[in-house]
Amino acid sequence: MSNLIVNENRLWDDLMVTAEFGAKDGGVCRLTLGPEDKAVRDWFSGQCNALGLEMAVDEVGNMFALRKGRSDLPPIAMGSHLDTQPTGGRFDGILGVLAGLEVIRVLEDAGYVTEAPLMLVNWTNEEGSRFNPSMLGSGVYCGVHERSYADARQDEGGETFGDALEAIGYRGDRPAGSVELGAMFELHIEQGPILEAEGASIGIVQGVQGCRWYEVVLTGNSAHTGSTPMGMRQDALVAASHLVVAVQAMALAEEDAVGSVGFMEVLPNSTNVIPGVVRLNVDLRHPKDAVLDRMEASLQETVASLGVTAKITPISRTDAVEFDTECITSVRHAVSRLNMSARDIVSGAGHDAQHLAGHVPTTMIFVPSTNGLSHNPAEYTAPAECANGAQVLLEAVLDYDRRMSDPVSAP
């Protein structure tokens, strides 16, 4: 274990300082590429300059602050995002950037130079609340989206992403994807209740679960409820009810699966008419695509067996992401050296790391969210919990640096 210790108060002070840029209702409203986003970017840039880091900004506004290493290996990156939801909190994304800043300060204070350079990253428009879709900056960086696609996104007032980026002066000169990274570690709040419920300080994130949505339309016969005998009905809602229960059963049958019907429309939705048409959406999620394939097959079989005319259409699909085993190993080493309570976890929410995982070795570290709250002004992670996350980030990055630069003698 290194004797490099993150400064809990300094990290907390930074979190509270940045929370002033767009402060609202105890939380933060800092929509991407607005004046508050410019203010926090300027602040961040100033902090990086003061540490002697070399700042590069790419053509979609992603910010990369480089700290040189002993070699010119591809840099090990830390970071996340500084934009928030309109009803955002003070920690979502921000912790990952500021913890990376704290790690670099600790190394700087100790005069510790890593073998590979380090890179601190702020990804543009992770939230997607002003410009759809979310994770846009990392998406362009990773080649998932074209720059022209990003530039053309419009907010509610019709302003484009490209114009907003120019207006705040953060259209950088580096082509997206041209800033090389060797690995990515993203510290983030869990945004869910699991770590808190289990009393674990750290979530060792294994990946991001896949998600598939289907629209199902069930068509029976609308008829009078009083004059149609039970044996002579084609009730679309009874069929839908069987489907809802079957979705629950198929999720319970697979470890770590979740399955829900959260939307349903019943036609004609009248007390004395047998429901003729039901339209509903099914949401299936699991960390492994192979399991989702199995659940999808089971869903199709069930839909076909309901005794009414049924049509199923896939409407959305995000594949599961598995994080890099070497990066995860470094997080495990960090947690065990620090003797922290930890559990493996899969992210239920989307993150920039999801795009990065298809591009460079990537993983995430979670810290608890009080009451599981996020995207809410009451979002809270205590100072010591934030510092725990930053300490694990520091140890994991140093472990990865040692093992990748000297695989023979490193543990």
Q: Name the site residues for Zn ion (rule: CB under 5 A).
A: 92-93
Question: CA-CA distance, 410 to 402, in Å (whole number)?
Answer: 6
- Based on CB atoms, which residue is closest to Zn ion, 4 or 373? 373
Stretch (H or E) spanning 44:
helix 35-50
- Based on CB atoms, which residue is closest to Zn ion, 92 or 324? 92
Sole residue written with tokens 């008829």: 223
Task: End-to-end CA distance of the chain: give it in Å, rounded.
Answer: 11
CB of 226 to Zn ion, least distance (A): 54
Question: CA-CA distance, 404 to 326, in Å (whole number)?
Answer: 9
Question: CA-CA distance, 52 to 26, in Å (whole number)?
Answer: 33
Question: CA-CA distance, 106 to 2, in Å (whole number)?
Answer: 11
CB of 121 to Zn ion, least distance (A): 13
- Based on CB atoms, which residue is closest to Zn ion, 93 or 117? 93
- Based on CB atoms, which residue is closest to Zn ion, 93 or 368? 93
How many other C-beta atoms lie within 10 A of the C-beta of residue 178? 11
Question: CA-CA distance, 113 to 299, in Å (whole number)?
Answer: 54
- Based on CB atoms, which residue is closest to Zn ion, 34 or 79? 79
- Based on CB atoms, which residue is closest to Zn ion, 93 or 182? 93
Question: CA-CA distance, 324 to 206, in Å (whole number)?
Answer: 8
Question: CA-CA distance, 184 to 119, in Å (whole number)?
Answer: 9
- Based on CB atoms, which residue is closest to Zn ion, 93 or 389? 93
Q: Give whole-number Cα distances, 162 to 38, 58, 155, 362, in Å.
A: 14, 13, 11, 28
Question: CA-CA distance, 311 to 282, in Å (whole number)?
Answer: 13
- Based on CB atoms, which residue is closest to Zn ion, 162 or 207? 207
Torsion angle (degrees, nearest 10) of CA 146, 126, 316, 376:
-160
CB of 394 to Zn ion, least distance (A): 20
Residue nearest to Zn ion (CB): 93
Question: CA-CA distance, 270 to 392, in Å (whole number)?
Answer: 58
How would DSSP label each residue in 96-165? HHHHHHHHHHHHHHHT---SS-EEEEE-S-SS-SSSSSSSHHHHHHTTSS-HHHHHH-B-TTS-BHHHHH
CB of 84 to Zn ion, least distance (A): 9
- Based on CB atoms, which residue is closest to Zn ion, 142 or 308? 142
**CA dihedral sign of residues 96, 98, 104, 105:** negative
CB 285 within 8 A of CB 207: no
- Based on CB atoms, which residue is closest to Zn ion, 93 or 162? 93
